[in-house]
Amino acid sequence: MPNIALFPGDGVGPEVVAEGVKVLEATGSRFGIEFAFETLAIGGDALDRYSAPLRRDDIRAAGRADAALLGAVGGPKWDDVDSALRPERGLLQLRKALGLFANLRPVSVLPALAESSPLRPEIVAGVDLLVVRELTGGIYFGKPSRRWTSGRGRAAVDTLRYREDEIERVVRLAFELARGRRGKLASVDKSNVLQSSRLWREVADEVKADFPDVELEHVLVDAMAMHLIKSPSRFDVIVTENMFGDILTDEASVLPGSIGLLPSASLSAKPGAGTGTRYGLYEPIHGSAPDIAGTGRANPAGTILSAAMLLRWSLGLIEAAEAIERCVADAIAAGVRTPDMAEPGSPVDSTAEFGADVARRVAAA
Ligand code: IPM
Ligand code: MG
């Protein structure tokens, strides 16, 4: 019986996680799997209840589970709290504590939604890329990170630091993923300026020796920002350091027409429950969207597709994962749409209606 830890978190988090669970339960009954869920606290939710954005016990409980599904963290309510207690700290602590070094963010464009992209349909047609973002190193975690005041006024520092083993493991995973796809890897850095990027590029070239069948290109991050909206379909797998990956994936998220559609997987080196799998934390890439929290307008597709990634990458349940992905695409193609996916003035479905529709389709798949 697979155990799944749930971190609903803040804003629309609880609403979208509820739909993820609904679809997992339907998938379980269709494929004869019984999931056990345990709900844990993170972010502002945890801060309000326990005065900390993530408790040790909850880290341990998540680590004991076979995988974890998370909604979102953060919101204006906690904007003024001490930086060590910010809701986002909870997520960063969780990633670090569980060793979730590789963040997979697939971006593809559903034909039914090609017209909703702000980019021309011929630019987004055929987009199918996978961004692999390093998640536990770089400027998010480097020390020193602090601010101070001197005679010359306020100052602050953050540190972008990487060791070669941290680069190697994520780049190697990206090569393996590229091998299973179209055999193309783009490594993104800023090696014309940064030392850490020159090391990144060097290590990527070394790992390449083990992957003669994968084509490697190096792309500077500023150029990649441009290519992603000019010619996104030319990329297959993109690997990059933590902050570049954070920025580029928000940019890439506009391609499918709504950020609400996009899932993610954060994988560790620890084996998962299925053969050849890894322990992971799964979450939609949209944030907590406090402006629409509680209104039933959030798009749960990103979370439902994250649940599908969970089945694939941590439990090895490929058929069940594919069923969910197909049913999400079918629901959207059939016109089931939350407001973010709908044409202005056309009828819309609520978060729960979208989830129920997908669950019905999976149960009948
Ligand atoms: C993301 C988010 C997080 C990040 C925040 C909430 C800490 O933007 O997952 O992309 O910057 O990693
Ligand atoms: Mg981000």
Domains of the chain: 1-105+273-365 (3.40.718.10), 128-254 (3.40.718.10)
Residue 304 has pLDDT above 90, yes or no: yes
Question: Where do runs of H (alpha helix) occur along 98-235?
Answer: 121-124, 164-179, 195-208, 221-230
Identify which ligand lies nearest to the alpha carbon of 281: 1
Residue 313 has pLDDT above 90, yes or no: yes
pLDDT digit string, tens, across residues 73-117: 999 999 999 999 999 999 999 999 999 999 999 999 998 898 889
91 Cβ below 6 A of ligand 1: yes
Which protein residue's CA is at the shortest distance from atom 9 of ligand 1?
Answer: 285
CA of 309 to the centre of ligand 1 (A): 19
User: How much is the pLDDT for 114?
Assistant: 85
Bridge partners (DSSP) listed for residue 159: 142
Q: What is the CA radius of gyration of the chain?
A: 20
Compute the average pLDDT of residues 253-259. 92
88 Cβ below 6 A of ligand 1: yes
Q: In what order do the strands lie in the sheet with 67-72?
A: 36-39, 3-9, 67-72, 278-282, 265-271, 102-108, 128-134, 237-240, 184-189, 215-220
pLDDT band at 210 (very low <50, low <70, confident <90, very high): very high
Instruction: Reduce the DSSP state of residue 239 to 3 states and report it.
Output: strand
Which protein residue's CA is at the shortest distance from atom 12 of ligand 1?
Answer: 246
| 227: amino acid identity, one letter | H
User: How much is the pLDDT for 202?
Assistant: 98
| 222: amino acid identity, one letter | D
Which protein residue's CA is at the shortest distance from atom 5 of ligand 1?
Answer: 88
Phi/psi class of residue 259: alpha, beta or left (left: φ > 0; alpha: ψ in -120 to 50)?
alpha
In ligand 1, the atom with minimum distance to the C-alpha of 103 is 9
DSSP single-letter state for residue 343: P
Calculate the average pLDDT of the chain: 97
CA of 193 to the centre of ligand 1 (A): 24
Q: Give me the long-range contacts of 159-166 (CB less than 8 A, separation at least 24).
A: 160/194, 160/196, 160/241, 160/243, 161/137, 161/196, 162/134, 162/137, 162/138, 162/196, 162/199, 162/200, 162/241, 163/137, 164/199, 164/203, 166/101, 166/134, 166/136, 166/137
Kindly report which listed range (40-49, 114-123, 272-281) carries the lowest average pLDDT score: 114-123
pLDDT digit string, tens, across residues 182-207: 999 999 999 999 999 999 999 999 99
Kindly report which listed range (114-123, 149-158, 163-172) carries the lowest average pLDDT score: 114-123
CA of 329 to the centre of ligand 1 (A): 26
Neighbouring residues of 147: CB distance < 8 A, sequence distance ≥ 6: 154, 155, 156, 157
Compute the average pLDDT of residues 146-162. 97
In ligand 1, the atom with minimum distance to the C-alpha of 92 is 7
283 Cβ below 6 A of ligand 1: no
Residue 308 has which token pair?
A: 């599908």
Which protein residue's CA is at the shortest distance from atom 11 of ligand 1?
Answer: 246
Identify which ligand lies nearest to the alpha carbon of 250: 2
User: How much is the pLDDT for 343?
Assistant: 87
Compute the average pLDDT of residues 143-170. 98
66 Cβ below 6 A of ligand 1: no
pLDDT digit string, tens, across residues 314-328: 999 999 999 999 999
Identify which ligand lies nearest to the alpha carbon of 43: 1
Neighbours of 35 (CB within 10 A): 17
Q: Catalytic residue positions?
A: 140, 190, 222, 246, 250
Cα–Cα distance for residue pair 18/37, rounded to 1 Å? 11
Residue 122 has which token pair?
A: 């011929």
User: How much is the pLDDT for 10?
Assistant: 98
User: How much is the pLDDT for 344?
Assistant: 86
Instruction: Work out the percent of the chain whose per-residue pLDDT is above 70.
Output: 100
Residue 59 has pLDDT above 90, yes or no: yes
User: How much is the pLDDT for 115?
Assistant: 85
